[in-house]
Chains A and B, each alone.
Chain A
Amino acid sequence: MSPISTCRDGTDRLMEYMDGVLDEPLRQAIDAHVAGCARCQAFVRSYAAVPGVVRDATRVTLGPEARDALRRALAGRRS
């Protein structure tokens, strides 16, 4: 029996799959399962989207006032 026979098995290994650290047989077993499973294809799309979506949505800029405050705080406490 394949080490990856269910959606749950593949889901458990998805990070390792995407990081490229899985053994080749496991990798192929996941590929084979996902190729025939619409739910896993949908799952992989949503899982893979998370880092980029959250990165873009939590991007912040340090404004000029905050930069000044930092400069003053550092200058005051260094001396």
Chain B
Amino acid sequence: MSVDGLAAAPDEDLVARAVAGDEPAFEKLVERHQQRAYGLARRLVGNDGDAQDVLQEAFLSVYRKLAGFRGESRFSTWLFRIVTNAALMHLRARARRPQEPLDAFLPGFDGDGRHLGEPAEIEAAAHAAERLDRQALAERAQQGVARLPEIYRAAFVLRDLEEMPTAEVADLLGVGPDVVRQRVHRARLMLRGYLGDAVEGAR
């Protein structure tokens, strides 16, 4: 197959060719998916060096397991599962000092179940992009994601940052859609408070 032919070939064809020993077909799969795979790894592990390690481990794993890929899900979903697992393994192997949790940033309610605070404060996170400079926002967002409990982080990154459908995230993580929604919800609540706090602090 010509180089042009490879570029136009669907993933499934490239997989079949790679399994048959066609190295350029495998390289094309890597080239096509490396950016998104890296983005996912980077968001899960929180830094560039570890994300590159995860990316290498994941693609080597893909290479070794490719013959077993049955096409029951899309190649990209299968790849994302491998990247996610590699990232989570990486985090566990590092056994980093546990991050201070974000529970303090969950929303507060009074005894009657009403939101605490004035609407302008409650809304603060909605204005993060206007009120914080680019660098400060990037740091705050990265720290916030890194401080999420691991199970919330994986669900939030896949669903809200990589924009995968809830059902696909559920399949990938091996839990039900209700569990995914509950984890994403907790992550959004924590990050909403964490970003809002930075916006309020910058006033």
Q: Which residues of A contact B (CB under 8 A)?
A: 5-9, 11, 14-16, 19, 21, 38-43, 45-51, 53-62, 66-67, 69-71, 73-74, 77-78
Closest residue on chain A to residue B113 by CB atoms: A6
Could you tell me how many residues of chain B have their Cβ less than 8 Å away from some Cβ of chain A?
Answer: 57
Select from chain A the residue with minimum beta-carbon distance to B159. A51
Residues of A within 8 A of B188 (CB): 15, 47, 50-51
Report yes or no: B123 in contact with A70, Cβ–Cβ below 8 A.
no
Q: Is the interface of B mostly helix, strand, loop or mixed?
A: helix
Binding stretch for chain A, among B8-16, B33-41, B79-87, B96-104: B33-41
Q: Is the CB of A38 within 8 A of B119?
A: yes
Residue in A48, A51, A73 whose CB lies within 8 Å of B161 = A51
* Residues 1-57 (chain B) with a chain A CB within 8 angstroms: 23, 26-27, 30, 34-35, 38-39, 42-43, 48, 51-52, 55-56
Does the CB pair B39–A60 fall under 8 Å? yes
Minimum CB distance partner of B55 in chain A: A70
Identify 11 new A-B residue pairs, CB closer than 8 A, beyond the known A41-B119, A57-B128: A8-B114, A39-B122, A42-B126, A43-B115, A46-B124, A46-B125, A49-B125, A54-B195, A58-B42, A70-B59, A78-B26
Which A residues are CB-close (under 8 A) to B182? 15
Are A57 and B120 in contact, with the CB atoms below 8 A?
A: no
A42 touches B122 (CB 8 A): yes
* Complex alpha-carbon distance, A46 and B68, angstroms: 44
Jot down 24 A-B pairs with beta carbons below 8 A, ordered by A: A6-B112, A11-B109, A11-B189, A15-B185, A39-B119, A39-B122, A42-B126, A46-B192, A49-B192, A50-B192, A54-B191, A55-B161, A57-B137, A58-B138, A58-B145, A60-B38, A60-B42, A62-B35, A62-B38, A66-B52, A70-B34, A70-B56, A70-B59, A71-B27
